Chains A and B, each alone.
Chain A
Amino acid sequence: MGTASSMLTQYDIEEVQEHCDHLFSQQEIVSLYQRFCQLDRNAKGFISSDEFLSVPEFAMNPLSQRLLKMVDGINFKDFVAFLSAFSAKATAQHKIELIFKVYDSDRNGKVSFNDILEVLKDLSGSFMSDEQRERVLSQVLKEAGYTKDSSLTLDDFIKVLGQSELKMDVEIPVD
């Protein structure tokens, strides 16, 4: 029977907990490790894109390709750190930082009009034309006080998204 490649020691768990700023309990980290080993088929120590895509619910998510760029080849410590943004204990700022990272694909610290358009394209698929997307985005940007040429920074994101409650929590099933 295939089991986890190695059991986590108490030291390992504490190290991972440190790395994710204690956003997960020790039990949750053990659960996540079991899940990590299930996804990491040949016990390589990291999960490849292909293995993420073997989860059909993930593969059919409109943002899966963007997320794959962030998690391809991820090891366990970073896996937990990535998911920590979805912990109920994470701050709104932490969550918004992740959202910003998803938009800012070239990692230059700024999100341009085109960056937002790209994400919109993933979310809307063939159900909206490029023209429609540009029109909608320009309109809401203007109403929020920005222009087509403005680049949004993390602070802008915090200002815009920080207003309302962000529902971005995922519960880790614990046996």
Chain B
Amino acid sequence: MMRKTNPKSQSTELELDQPNIEDYLPSGHTIHQEPHGKLRLCDLLDISPTLSEAAGAIVDDSFLRCFKSIRSEPWNWNVYLFPLWCFGVVIRYLILFPARVLLLSFGWMIFLSAFIPVHLLLKRDNSVRKNIERCLVEMICGFFVASWTGVVKYHGPRPSMRPKQVFVANHTSMIDFIILEQMTAFAVIMQKHPGWVGLLQNTILESVGCIWFNRTEAKDREIVARKLREHVQGADNNPLLIFPEGTCVNNHYSVMFKKGAFELGCTVCPVAIKYNKIFVDAFWNSRKQSFTKHLLQLMTSWAVVCDVWYLEPQNQKPGETSIEFAERVREIISQRAGLKMVPWDGYLKYSRPSPKLREGKQRNFVESVLRRLEEK
């Protein structure tokens, strides 16, 4: 049961077109017997189902679960495991961490000494410059991954540079981008960040053709949509990578995909990323940690181990709406990466749900009341 998109709606509210939420919510909440029999006063006064749903949401809900860092059992809890763990801490912080910092600095030195001259001396449209910058970006990402002792296993065919194709992946942290970028220089669409990350965005990432958006600006969506369309037309542009969830999720769930990536009339190539939590929890909870702290946490862990699957490219089937297409691709990715799908828009982290979401419940209530009024 999909709601049809209203092409005239220009609201700054969240996307209203989404699959039926009732299909996803746990059965304990919504499946209660269709009430029968003539409508009596007790039926009208009995608000217990609605109250139970509200209390159920207060106690546990499927949205906040997506952003909870699920802590694993501490294993250093007894007499001989604890010293072992302390020994591990010493190695990680005093040996591995300095070595990694050195490695990363070395990588940056090589990168900057090659990137800056090329960037300044050669013209913007020079294809030699583009190729060199591409290789350099791939290289520095490789250095980053090495600095966390990243063990990344890639499955599936390597992405190729072709027009009219878009890559979509699930999102756990900004390092998703670095992990994918070390193999192929993608052009990513990202939120503009402040600080040193913003500086990197303006200079280096600009050169591979990245596109920026701003969550808080209303008109932004149209501008970005236009930029996306222009990018995929060009044969010479780097392949476009989009994270349709729009926000970082904890790698156990997937939130709804925004339909923007699926409306470009291109082939969509799904990419699934799954981190192995035994080594480190790579989920970046942007509310609790800055990106710098997140990187430091990774650099003082043993390793970042993950699997990346490049899955079969998908095309929009005839008669399929963009939302159905997005959900279908989300299912393919979620299945591959072992993620549970939830029916929420990731942007609910930053804003309130539209009042229209409760209309489904209200409509059901009214239908039931009016029907029972007629019964004898």
Contact = CB atoms under 8 A, between A and B. Distances in A.
A137 B43 CA distance: 11
Interface residues of A, number: 58
B60 to A, nearest CB: 5
Nearest to B297: A1
Contacts of A35: 58-60
Contacts of B132: none
A163 B45 CA distance: 12
B47 to A, nearest CB: 6
Contacts of A8: none
A5 B316 CA distance: 48
A169 B58 CA distance: 13
A126 B358 CA distance: 11
Nearest to A171: B28
Contacts of A128: 366, 369
A143 B39 CA distance: 10
Contacts of B71: 1
A95 B52 CA distance: 11
Given A55-B63, A57-B63, A136-B39, A63 B54 contact: yes
Given A1-B69, A62-B358, A125-B358, A136 B44 contact: yes
A160 B42 contact: yes
A94 to B, nearest CB: 12
B46 A166 contact: yes
Nearest to B350: A54
Q: Say what secondary structure dominates the interface of chain B.
A: helix
A140 B58 contact: no
Contact of A116 (B40, B44, B50, B366): B44
A161 B46 contact: yes
Nearest to B365: A123
Given A98-B51, A167-B48, A170-B52, A55 B42 contact: no
Interface string A67-95: 10001000000000001001000000001
A169 B64 contact: no
B44 A57 contact: no
A95 B310 CA distance: 53
Interface string B30-56: 001000000111111111111111111
Given A2-B288, A120-B44, A127-B363, A56 B54 contact: no
Contact of A168 (B41, B51, B59, B366): B51
A102 interface: yes
Contact of B50 (A103, A123, A125): A123
Interface string B344-376: 100010001100011101110110010001000
A99 B369 contact: no
Contacts of A16: none
A62 B52 contact: no
B222 to A, nearest CB: 25
A78 to B, nearest CB: 13
Nearest to B63: A56
Interface string B311-333: 00000000000000000000000
Given A160-B42, A166-B46, A167-B52, A58 B58 contact: yes
B57 interface: yes
A98 B55 CA distance: 12
A56 B348 CA distance: 7
Top 3 closest pairs, chain A to chain B, by CB: A125-B362, A57-B57, A144-B41
15 contacts: A1-B288, A55-B63, A58-B57, A62-B361, A63-B54, A127-B362, A127-B363, A136-B369, A140-B41, A160-B41, A164-B42, A167-B48, A167-B52, A168-B51, A170-B52
Interface of A: 1-2, 32, 35, 38-39, 52-64, 67, 71, 83, 86, 95, 98-99, 102-103, 116, 119-120, 123-128, 136-137, 139-141, 143-144, 146, 157, 160-161, 163-164, 166-173
Interface of B: 25, 28, 32, 39-64, 68-69, 71, 285, 288, 344, 348, 352-353, 357-359, 361-363, 365-366, 369, 373
Given A164-B42, A173-B60, 15 more contacts: A1-B71, A2-B285, A55-B63, A57-B25, A61-B54, A61-B358, A102-B51, A124-B365, A125-B358, A127-B366, A128-B369, A140-B41, A141-B41, A166-B46, A169-B52
